[in-house]
A and B are shown apart, each in its own frame.
Chain A
């Protein structure tokens, strides 16, 4: 299995974590740096991403056993506290978040889900922009950004399987099975994504765009890893998964239309075309099959699911804003622009 190269540091915290991974330090004590770092910043998000990557494929020339190294886990915990605190500050929790304090958590969850199931006709997200006015270099940049997640598509959510039971578990595995191609490796969504990258002349190597990816993109993947690796956040993981599955179908359709308008190869279109159809099914399975029985069995999880939905929506909006801001001023949104990106 291809293991990515270690990225370049983006500050003191990531430099310390990377030096430890390279075997240049005997120990790692960065609790203070983790607390002092900007939780949304490049340094912390990259350092946290690297800690999590050890649980997926690891890095070239980094010993596999470092996955459970106590110093690294301690450093990771400090960064997770900072990240979670920042998320909780932006995403009001519990009664304070409700329009009506008397509303039950289950009713709040139903309202939050309903809000994801309507199509705003005058929205200004990245997929709307790409469909109307996107250029080829912007589609390629978008795909390069998304590769951080899609080349490990469905992996962070697989961690939650052991933390579910009964109908919720069966339904989540049904969705995951579809994500992994229903037994056909050529239909695996991560594989379809890699094929799309190649047909767009992008590097489909796992981790190829890690150095290029800015903090908001890393934060989206970090939220999935955080919630996937902590049983206490299993409700939030399901909320994150639901947000993706509920909103992806119309968004994917807009990207299909953008790619067709730009005359991009059919091989490139396939990934998003598949997601229009697949996620129309997954939406139903996640709502009816996963969330409904989960909340029926453990009503206290409703609040965590709401948090997961709000946190992932917040992070997706931050990425959208970052991309549109850069492109709006004619700049690349990547830290390392592609060959056809503006400087």
Chain B
């Protein structure tokens, strides 16, 4: 993360290609009202809505390629 020092280290970081990074343990409420807790020092919340482990990122946002396209 590249923190703008004048404001200190950010608690939330929007990545350009993937999840929203959230600092500290968090409790997240889902649309159905259920709650999920993450005790990680940093959690990655899915923004692309393709994750199979909502609300957390599972890298499903990654670009899929065929061999040879790499």
Within 8 A of B (CB), among A87-136: 115, 117-123
B39 to chain A, nearest CB (A): 6
> Binding site of A, secondary structure by majority: helix, strand, loop or mixed?
helix
Interface size grouping (class) on chain B: 20 to 34
Tell me whether B70 and A280 are in contact (CB under 8 A): no
CB contacts (< 8 Å) of B2 on chain A: these are: 288, 292-293
Chain A, Cβ-Cβ closest to B25: A182
A314 to chain B, nearest CB (A): 16
Query: What are 7 of the A-B contact pairs (CB < 8 Å)?
Result: A117-B62, A118-B65, A120-B65, A120-B70, A253-B58, A280-B18, A281-B43
CB contacts (< 8 Å) of A120 on chain B: these are: 64-67, 70
Report if A249 contacts B (CB, 8 A).
Answer: yes
Q: Which of B42, B53, B64 contacts A276 (CB 8 A)?
A: B53
Report if A277 contacts B (CB, 8 A).
Answer: yes
Q: Which of B17, B21, B53, B63 contacts A119 (CB 8 A)?
A: B63
Tell me whether B63 and A281 are in contact (CB under 8 A): no
Chain B, Cβ-Cβ closest to A287: B15
Tell me whether B40 and A123 are in contact (CB under 8 A): no
Chain A, Cβ-Cβ closest to B44: A281
Report if B4 contacts A (CB, 8 A).
Answer: no
Q: CA of A120 to CA of B62 in the docked complex: distance in angstroms?
A: 10
Contact with B along A279-306 (1 / 0, CB 8 A): 1110111001100110000000000000
Within 8 A of A (CB), among B45-63: 52-53, 56-59, 62-63
A107 to chain B, nearest CB (A): 17
Interface size grouping (class) on chain A: 20 to 34
Report if B8 contacts A (CB, 8 A).
Answer: no
Within 8 A of B (CB), among A157-213: 167, 171, 174, 177-178, 182, 184, 187
Q: A121-B65, A187-B39, A277-B58 are in contact. List 6 more A-B contacts (CB 8 A).
A: A117-B62, A118-B62, A120-B67, A283-B59, A284-B42, A288-B2
B60 to chain A, nearest CB (A): 8
Tell me whether B62 and A281 are in contact (CB under 8 A): no
Report if A315 contacts B (CB, 8 A).
Answer: no
User: A281-B57, A283-B59 are known contacts. Are A115 and B70 too (CB-CB below 8 A)?
Assistant: yes
Tell me whether B44 and A280 are in contact (CB under 8 A): yes
Report which residue of A120, A171, A292 has the largest number of chain B beta carbons within 10 angstroms of its beta carbon: A120
Tell me whether B41 and A284 are in contact (CB under 8 A): no
B65 to chain A, nearest CB (A): 5
